[in-house]
Amino acid sequence: MLAGPTTPAHASAPYGAKAVEVAASKQGSPYQYGATGPKRFDCSGLTLYAFKKAGRRLPRTAAQQYEHTRHIPEADRVPGDLVFFPRGGTVGHVGIYAGHDRIWHAPRPGTYVRLERIWSAAVRYGRAL
């Protein structure tokens, strides 16, 4: 296999690694519906904020972010890729893949930004363009 800028390991670096770092720096920030930081976040607000700080623009909602990414198989995921959780016919939740089957995310009202193991096999992966 040829190494180069299109291989999965290089595709999201360095902005993917930076987005993970930014999300991690927000650990403990409270969830607030519609919030995009810097002190409170909802799920897509956290990804929007982290990628903006890393130099990439994302749309506002999880569903819009899914449509804006290059969809990739689980085997190709690397830290900094987005992990989408389907809900019905749309995407209801998003987090940032941190490696080792874990994501940084803002789960729901009453919780805080945290690192958590991916709890479902029914997820989709995307790489910010």
**Which residue numbers are catalytic?**
43, 93, 105
Phi, psi dihedrals of residue 48, rounded to the nearest 5° = -55, -50
Distance CA 32, CA 71 (A): 28
Distance CA 13, CA 78 (A): 9
Biggest alpha carbon distance in the chain? 47
Place of tokens 């940032």: 96
